[in-house]
């Protein structure tokens, strides 16, 4: 569906005085409402109709970050495909994303925690070990169920069997009698304990002796597999990435009277809702009213930069959204920054990024639409960057060890980039722009100011010995960088053997004049 907008106001971007405040808005799905089915348009419209806009636009810094997170109260409901159950996870602080906290807080780990405790206790070890080794009864008295298809398969036979077990632990019905969700203990204890044994048994080797550590390790393997499924769930990764990307920005910048950061909890789907609800008149949209309201924040000080933790391609809806955000940004006074999808350069996957000669935009309508958008005046007010940057270390003994159990988040490093947590490149460039103002005033960063440093340094053992994982999700060659630039995008380039990335240049999507419009003009 294509969204059509009209705009009655001309661009009002203007150069700023040296003493003017830098006001930055960081937008993203911070509550997890992307999956909650809430009517963002109605919520935002209700809030913006009130005189106090603080419930929507929240000033954020290092000192009040925890309070902001507690106020937004992020929550996820993780669905398991082909399953009747779900996991609901609430977050009050950044540490709630950590495996140690998930392990302690989530009821889904309760049975495994209890079993592990019994195995660790000399008084109960023998009984618990015997229960694990006996011929396990199946649910409902029949044979053990065959492996079903799952969107979260690990690939191997044992992992597939475990996946089916995990689905039952998370709530897959058995003849309509077994249902479970996080925070509710509706499964009969006998069935639950039996199921826990089914979950652990694939990790017990035939002929294993009675050593305590062997059994504890089998439970840890089961816990690790379940934890990986949660950490790698796309919804979980997206929410964790948004919050960690936000925290990186505010922790790297000195906020105060000269630099003020605000956050807006608005998922990309909500962005489409609030703009489409305006019946084509952007000035009637609640987002425009929110950003342009004279009494919104800091009196009538204009915005310096709008950054969204969103990814855009060349679809009809995405191009319409970019056009709308470019128009709004021109009136707000600062450009709109976001992430670019690899599809914009004709790259189908991160693995294909190393071969730019194979990039090809298959949809000619998309190519035509993108080319036409870059000719629009609003394109000068939009900047898109790629790829994403490493936002935290993977958990493991040699990187970021956890306390609760033996856990390697990435058992085979450098094989699956989706196993790592990546953060917004738009937020990274926002940080550079703010830093540039603090040192050089209203001018775009250049030279060393284009360096995104102090990124997580993850060292693993590869074919050539110890290697440092590149800090960008994709590594662009010189030829690839040229093609990315030609598409109007801002590439971030990784360094070999250094935990940093460099923005090739800061510019807009505009084809004729790529200068990024904003307060520095």
Per-residue pLDDT of the chain (521 residues; tens, 9 = 90+): 456 666 655 555 556 676 788 999 999 999 996 544 455 555 665 555 444 444 688 999 999 999 999 999 999 988 755 444 678 899 999 999 999 999 999 887 888 888 888 988 989 988 888 887 764 443 333 332 222 223 333 333 343 344 443 343 333 433 433 333 333 333 345 555 665 566 666 665 554 445 788 888 888 888 898 899 899 999 999 999 999 999 999 999 999 988 999 999 999 988 988 888 777 688 888 888 888 875 454 456 789 999 999 999 999 999 999 999 999 999 999 999 999 999 898 888 877 887 888 888 768 888 899 999 999 999 999 999 999 999 999 999 989 999 988 899 998 886 788 899 999 999 999 999 998 887 788 888 888 789 999 999 999 887 778 889 999 999 999 999 999 999 999 999 999 889 999 999 999 999 977 889 998 75
Q: CA 317, 320, 326, 328 torsion: positive or negative?
A: negative
- Cα dihedral 461/465/471/473 (nearest 10): -70
DSSP 21: P
Distance CA 189, CA 162 (A): 20
Buried/exposed 211-245: b ≥16 CB within 10 Å, e otherwise: eeeebbbbbbbbbbbbbbbbbbbebbbbbbbbbbb
Q: What are phi and psi of 232, to 5 degrees?
A: -95, 0
Distance CA 290, CA 38 (A): 19
Distance CA 152, CA 147 (A): 13
Distance CA 426, CA 312 (A): 12
Residue 326 is encoded by which pair of tokens? 């470019």
Count CA atoms within 13 Å of residue 290 on its CB side: 27
pLDDT value, residue 2: 55
- Cβ burial, residue 264 (10 Å; 0-12/13-18/19+): buried
Look up tokens 């977050």; give the residue. Answer: 91
CB contact at 8 A, 348 and 471: no
pTM for the model stands at 0.83
Nearest Cα to Cα of residue 322 among 271, 266, 386: 271
pLDDT value, residue 378: 92
DSSP 121: S
| Most distant pair of Cα atoms in the chain: their distance | 78
Distances (CA, A) of 386 to 324, 373, 424, 473: 21, 19, 8, 9
pLDDT value, residue 162: 41
**Contacts of residue 300, Cβ cutoff 8 Å, sequence gap at least 6:** 294
**Contacts of residue 311, Cβ cutoff 8 Å, sequence gap at least 6:** 268, 338, 339, 340, 341
Residue 94 host element (H or E): none
Look up tokens 């722009």; give the residue. Answer: 433
Q: What are phi and psi of 146, to 5 degrees?
A: -70, 165
**Using alpha carbons only, what angle is made at residue 130 by residues 127 and 132, rounded to the nearest 5 degrees?**
115
Domain boundaries, the chain: 22-61+255-388+424-503
DSSP letters, 459-481, are: EEEETTEEEEPPSBSS---HHHH
Asked if residue 400 has a cis previous peptide bond (ω within 30° of 0), the answer is no
CB contact at 8 A, 133 and 204: yes
DSSP letters, 271-283, are: HHHHHHTTTTBGG
Distance CA 57, CA 48 (A): 10
Count CA atoms within 13 Å of residue 183 on its CB side: 8
List beta partners, residue 281.
6
């Amino acid at each position: 569906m294509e969204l059509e907008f009209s705009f009655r106001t001309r661009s009002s971007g203007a150069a700023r005085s040296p003493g003017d405040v830098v006001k930055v808005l960081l937008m993203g799905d911070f509550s997890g409402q992307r999956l909650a089915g809430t009517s963002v348009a109605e919520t935002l419209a209700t809030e913006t109709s009130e005189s106090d806009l603080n419930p929507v636009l929240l000033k954020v810094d290092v000192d009040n970050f925890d309070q902001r997170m507690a106020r937004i109260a992020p929550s996820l409901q993780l669905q398991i495909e082909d399953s009747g159950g779900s996991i609901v996870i609430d977050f009050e602080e950044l540490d709630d994303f950590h495996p140690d906290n998930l392990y302690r807080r989530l009821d889904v780990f309760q049975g495994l925690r209890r079993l592990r405790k019994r195995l660790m206790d000399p008084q109960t070890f023998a009984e618990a070990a015997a229960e694990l080794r006996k011929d396990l009864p199946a649910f409902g008295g029949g044979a053990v169920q065959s492996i079903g298809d799952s969107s979260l398969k690990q690939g191997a036979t044992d992992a597939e069997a475990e996946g089916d077990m995990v689905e039952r632990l998370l709530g897959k019905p058995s003849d309509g009698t077994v249902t479970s969700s996080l925070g509710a203990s509706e499964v009969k204890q006998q069935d639950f304990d039996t199921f826990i044994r089914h979950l652990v048994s694939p990790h017990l080797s035939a002929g294993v002796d009675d050593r305590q550590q062997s059994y504890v390790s089998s439970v840890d393997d089961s816990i690790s597999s379940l934890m990986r499924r949660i950490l790698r769930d796309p919804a979980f990764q997206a929410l964790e990435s948004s919050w960690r990307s936000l925290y990186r920005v505010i922790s790297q910048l000195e906020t105060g009277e000269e630099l003020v950061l605000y956050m807006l909890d608005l998922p990309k789907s909500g962005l489409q809702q609030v703009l489409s609800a305006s019946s084509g008149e952007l000035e009637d949209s609640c987002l425009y009213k929110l950003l342009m309201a004279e009494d919104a924040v800091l009196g009538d000080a204009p915005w310096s930069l709008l950054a969204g933790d969103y990814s855009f391609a060349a679809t009809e809806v995405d191009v319409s959204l970019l056009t709308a955000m470019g128009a709004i940004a021109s009136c707000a006074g600062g450009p709109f920054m976001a992430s670019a999808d690899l599809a914009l350069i004709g790259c189908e996957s991160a693995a294909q990024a190393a071969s730019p000669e194979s990039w090809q935009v298959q949809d000619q309508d998309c190519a035509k639409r993108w080319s036409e958008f870059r000719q629009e005046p609003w394109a000068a007010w939009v900047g898109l960057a790629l790829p994403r940057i490493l936002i935290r270390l993977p958990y493991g003994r040699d990187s970021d060890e956890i306390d609760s159990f033996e856990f390697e988040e990435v058992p085979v490093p450098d094989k699956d980039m989706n196993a790592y947590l990546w953060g917004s490149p738009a937020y990274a460039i926002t940080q550079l722009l703010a830093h540039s103002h603090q040192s050089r005033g209203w001018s775009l960063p250049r030279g060393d100011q284009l360096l995104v440093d102090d990124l997580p340094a993850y060292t693993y053992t590869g074919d050539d010995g110890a290697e440092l994982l590149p800090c960008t999700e994709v590594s662009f060659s010189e030829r690839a960088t040229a093609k990315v630039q030609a598409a109007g995008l801002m590439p971030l380039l990784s360094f070999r053997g250094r935990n940093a990335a460099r923005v090739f240049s800061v510019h807009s999507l505009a084809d004729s004049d790529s200068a990024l419009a904003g307060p520095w003009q």
